[in-house]
């Protein structure tokens, strides 16, 4: 039960950090009618620059979410042993 809660919280934090914040900060929102202070990004579309900065972080978070549950279960087993 605690392992699944920890895994879920880790997943949600990773999604928020890598998907929402990273995309919002790097986006060029200067042409949008509503700006909330984060319009100085350099990436205006999904292109090579986007994949070099944002895409790599999202893929890294996906790999982390792939291996973290198994790593946590293994370490938890070693601690109990």
Residue 40 vs residue 77, higher pLDDT: 77
pLDDT at residue 9 tops 80 = yes
* Predicted pLDDT of residue 21: 76
Model confidence band, residue 81 (pLDDT cutoffs 50, 70, 90): confident
CA quadruple 13, 17, 21, 23: dihedral sign: negative
How does pLDDT run across 28-57, given as a tens digit for each residue? 777 777 666 666 677 776 778 777 877 787
Residue range 17-25: mean pLDDT, rounded: 75
Residue 1 to residues 7, 15, 66, 78: CA-CA distances in angstroms?
Answer: 10, 21, 19, 18
């Amino acid at each position: 039960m605690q392992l699944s809660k920890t895994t879920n919280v880790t997943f949600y934090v990773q999604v928020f950090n890598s998907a929402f914040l990273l995309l919002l900060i790097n986006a060029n929102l200067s042409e949008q009618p509503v700006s909330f202070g984060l319009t100085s990004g350099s990436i205006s579309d999904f292109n090579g620059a986007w994949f070099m900065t944002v895409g790599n972080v999202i893929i890294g978070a996906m790999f982390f979410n792939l291996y973290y549950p198994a790593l946590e279960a293994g370490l938890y087993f070693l601690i109990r042993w």
